Structure 1
């Protein structure tokens, strides 16, 4: 396994109580992220809100990160829990030669898949929804930020904003460390 630069990358994450789901990005690479450095078991602790207007709660996640079949794919599977309950989501990313990112979000809380687009910058991936999506019959826009800080940690964040306006609300802040 080597660096993800100039290679297709897929990340499939199953965690979360919020809206998080499945992302897909194709293409050239994840900058300085080395697949071999992120493979393994991870434990996350942080804050989760089940909607844009819910109170943030302390939450925990456990995930397993492994390389996919091609050796260039990255698969993350796990579970997050807080006092409001437990849930799973999936995440897959594809980055093109210009470090542009495309994504599709799927979750049991969404009525349909949501599309995302963004940019890879160094060890950080930032994506924004390209259209509104529905959660509990309310339309939202959203953005995600994944920061692969070093070989022993990464941070995943999500923000949501209702179509009707109002401030953006962070619904997930989870720092993962090796188990």
Structure 2
């Protein structure tokens, strides 16, 4: 923005419009096919304008200036970015993946202090279990309370029932008091 406000604002407005299309698709809870159709109608024209603009402006900016570096970066990736328009299952960016792996990245340093290799393995199992709860839409606290109460009396050949994909919460009134 500080280097070339007019060019930067133009591209940022197009980017905001592209993200508005994605927000609309999320809010309407569109299927992949419907999201594809929405993108064809609303996002493709914006991406085409952006592509035409890049062709025109690429040679007009100084390559080592801040706007020149930004334009060169986008030119080098434009065709790859454009691909998200072709499949409604694809995201416009990698934010969902970044958010999913953030806990692992943040915990990486903590794993050094697990105490031992076995301690690190146990921590990894707990993280996996809690991650499975999250994927299943299960409240991890409720899950752990229920499973830890049931575990001592659970037949070994029925342990699978306590795993997050198969877990069914028991009625709290049916559980013995501790």
Query: TM tier, shorter chain?
Result: under 0.3
**TM-score of the superposition, structure 2-length normalised?**
0.21
Q: Which of the pair has the greater relative contact order for Cα pairs under 8 Å at 6+ separation? A: 1
More helix by share: 2
Q: Highest Rg: 1 or 2?
A: 2
